[in-house]
Chains A and B, each alone.
Chain A
Amino acid sequence: MTMPQLSGDARPGLAPGVRLTFDKARDQWVVLAPERVLVPDETALEILQRCNGTRQLTDIIDELASAYSADRSEIEQDVRDLLASLIEKRILTA
C-alpha cells in the first residue's frame, strides 16, 4: 500500500500516545511513543515542533522555507518525506 499524498491543507499533529518533550537529564528533545524513545535531529525537531494539529502543511513549509532562506520545493520535499515516514510509524497523524 502506498501512502496517499498529503494535501496542503492537512494539519499534521502528534498521534495519540505520543509526546514531544525536553529531556533535562540528557539535554535534548525527545519523542516519547509506546515502547519507543526517538531523538529527532535538528531538522526533524523544527518540523515536529510545528506539527501541532492546527497549523496547515503549506504554512509549515512556508515558515521553514523563510526561516532557513531555502528553496521552497526542497523544503517541501524534506517535510513531506519526514511526515510520510512518521505517519507510517504512527508518530504523527494528519
Chain B
Amino acid sequence: MSAPGIPAPPLAALLELTHRCPLQCPYCSNPLELERAKNELSAAEWTRVLDEAAELGILQVHFSGGEPAVRRDLPDLVAHAREIGLYSNLITSGVTLDQARIAKLADAGLDHVQLSIQDVDHQTAAFIANYPGVQGKKLAFARMVREAGLPLTINAVINRHNITRVERMIDLAVSLGASRVEVAHAQYYGWAIRNRAALMPTLAQVREATERVEAARGRLRGQIVIDHVVPDYYARQPKACMGGWGRQFLNITPSGEVLPCHAAQTIPGLTFESVRHKPLAEIWASSKAFERFRGTDWMPEPCRSCDQREVDWGGCRCQALAITGNAAATDPACALSSAHDSLRALADTASSEPPPDFVYRRMTPHDDKTALAAATS
C-alpha cells in the first residue's frame, strides 16, 4: 500500500471498556498507567462507536479491558453490536459473571467467549493472578458459559511458572468443552515487560513446550483447534503484529483514544486521537499515528527490500522501541536485526536466574506516580 489514498477498512476492533480488573496478572497488556473509571466512555458513547465501527467496515468487535464485565452496561453494548451485524467476542477473566448475567449476554446475542487461564494448578494460578481461589471461579464460569450454549476459547498465557504444564492446560480446555485454545506465550510490553525476568522461560523449556503442543495437536485433531503463539524472544522471524500497523485492526482505550495496537502509547512522538472528538473513519484514514508505520514506506533496511515485508509488515514497533530505543528499527525478533542477538541474550540471562518477585498490575494512586516511574526505569 505505498500509493496514497484511503486505506482498506479494518476487520476488527479491540474495545477496552475499562481498565478496572479484579485480577492483577503481571503480564497484562494494559499500559502501566491505567485509566480511571471517571474517564471511561459512557454507554451512549460506546454505542455511537459501535455504529461508527460497523459503518467503517469493521466486522468483529472484542469487548475487552481490564475486565469488561465490571461495566453493568455490557449486555446493552453486546445487544447493540448484534443489532447492527457486528460479531462480538467477550474477552474475560471469568471471575465476576454469574449464571444470570451470562444468560443475559447470551440472550443479547454474544457470539463467543474467550476466557483466560493462568494454570491448571490452583495455587500457581492464584499466585499469578494475585487472587485467591481464582481457578475455581474460572472453572465454574467456563461450565456456565457452555451451559448457556456459548462457544468458548481458552486462552492460556504461558510463562516460566506454568510452562511445564502446557499440555495439561490444553487438556483442561478440552474437558471444559472449549472449541479452541490459544497457547499464547506472554508478549513483552505493558506490564509484561516490567515483569520480563519474572516471566521468561528458558529456550529448553520453550522447545519442550512446543513439542508438547504439537503432540497435543496431533492427538486432539478434530476435537479442538489449537492456536500457538510462539515467543518472540526465541524466534528468528517477526510476527505480523496486528496483521500490520493500521492494516486490519484498531484498539480503543477506555477513554476513547484510538490506537493501532494496545502498546502504541509507549512510542514517543505519536499522538492519538479520540472518538470523543473525531469520527472513527477519519481517525483510521488520516490520523498521523496510523499513518506513521502503515504500509512499507516507513521501513528501514533490511526490511524495505525484504521479500517478507508484506508478510510480517516489519513485525512489532513497540518491541523495536523497547529493545533498541527506536520504534522505526527492524523488529529484533528478526534474525536480520542487528539487535537480534541482544534480544536472545536478554531472554537467556533473565530465564537462567531465579525469578524475581512479580510487580502486580494495579492502579497507581496519582501521588504515587513518581514511585511507579522509579520502579519501571
Chain B, range 88-127, C-beta contacts under 8 Å to A: 89, 111-112, 114
Q: Contact between A30 and B59 (Cβ–Cβ < 8 Å)?
A: yes
> A16-B151, A17-B111 in contact; A32/B225 too (CB < 8 A)?
no
In contact, A34 and B114 (Cβ under 8 angstroms)? yes
Mask, A37-73, CB within 8 Å of B = 1, is 1000000000000000000000000000000000000
Q: How far is the CB of B351 from chain A (nearest CB, A)?
A: 29
- Report the nearest A residue to B114, measured CB to CB: A34
User: Are A32 and B57 touching (Cβ within 8 A)?
Assistant: no
- Whether A16 contacts B59 in the complex (CB less than 8 A), given A1-B222, A21-B85, comes out as no
Within the assembled complex, what's the spacing in Å between the Cα atoms of A15 and B224?
12
Query: Do B151 and A23 have beta carbons less than 8 Å apart?
Result: no
| Pairwise interchain contact A19-B111, C-beta atoms closer than 8 A | yes
Contact A25:B225 (CB < 8 A) given known A32-B59, A34-B114, A37-B59? no
Complex: A87 Cα to B221 Cα, angstroms: 10
Q: Do B57 and A26 have beta carbons less than 8 Å apart?
A: yes
- B residues 182-232 touching A (CB-CB < 8 Å): 182, 218-222, 224-225, 227
Asked, given contacts A16-B151, A17-B151, A21-B85, whether A34 binds B112 with beta carbons under 8 Å apart, the answer is: yes
* B:45-99 near A, CB below 8 Å: 56-57, 59-60, 85, 87, 89
With A15-B151, A16-B149 in contact, is A88–B222 under 8 Å at CB? yes
Q: Which chain B residues lie closer than 8 Å to A89 at the CB level?
A: 225
Per the 8 Å Cβ criterion, residues 247-275 of B in contact with A are none
Chain A, Cβ-Cβ closest to B56:
A25
What CA separation (Å) do A64 and B12 show in the bound complex?
33
Q: How far is the CA of A73 from the CA of B38 in the complex (A)?
A: 64
Bound-state CA distance A87–B225 (Å) is 10
Q: Could you tell me if B57 and A90 are in contact, using CB atoms closer than 8 angstroms?
A: no
Residues from chain B with a CB closer than 8 A to the CB of A21 are: 59, 85
Check: A81 CB closer than 8 A to any chain B CB.
no
Instruction: Determine the distance from Cα of A16 to Cα of B225 in the docked complex, in whole angstroms.
Output: 14
- With contacts A16-B179, A34-B114, A37-B59 taken as known, whether A87 is within 8 angstroms of B222 at the C-beta atoms is yes
Measured CB to CB, the closest approach of chain A to B5, in angstroms, equals 16
Complexed CA–CA distance, A21 and B59 (Å): 10
Is B144 among interface residues, defined by CB-CB distance under 8 A?
Answer: no
Nearest opposing residue in chain B for A1, CB measure:
B221
Given the interface pairs A1-B221, A17-B151, the reply to whether A90 lies near B179 with Cβ below 8 Å is: yes
Shortest distance between the CB of B359 and any CB in chain A (Å): 29
* CB-based nearest B residue for A25: B57
Task: Write out, one digit per residue, whether chain A residues 5-21 have a CB within 8 A of any chain B CB (1) or not (0).
Answer: 00000000001110101
When the two chains form their complex, are residues B179 and A17 in contact, meaning their CB atoms are under 8 A apart? yes
Contact A34 B57 (CB under 8 A): no
Whether A37 contacts B11 by the Cβ 8 Å rule is yes
Collect the chain B residues with CB atoms within 8 Å of residue A35's CB.
89, 153, 180, 182, 227
A26 to chain B, nearest CB (A): 7
Q: How far is the CA of A53 from the CA of B221 in the complex (A)?
A: 22
A-B contact pairs, 8 of them (CB 8 A): A1-B220, A1-B222, A15-B151, A25-B9, A35-B227, A37-B59, A87-B222, A90-B179
Given A35-B227, A37-B11, list of 13 further CB < 8 A pairs? A1-B221, A1-B222, A15-B179, A16-B150, A19-B111, A21-B85, A25-B57, A26-B57, A34-B112, A35-B182, A37-B60, A89-B225, A90-B180
Which residues of B does A touch, CB under 8 Å? Answer: 9, 11-12, 56-57, 59-60, 85, 87, 89, 111-112, 114, 149-151, 153, 179-180, 182, 218-222, 224-225, 227
Give the 9 A-B CB pairs with smallest separation, nearest first.
A25-B57, A17-B151, A32-B87, A16-B151, A17-B112, A34-B112, A90-B179, A1-B221, A90-B225
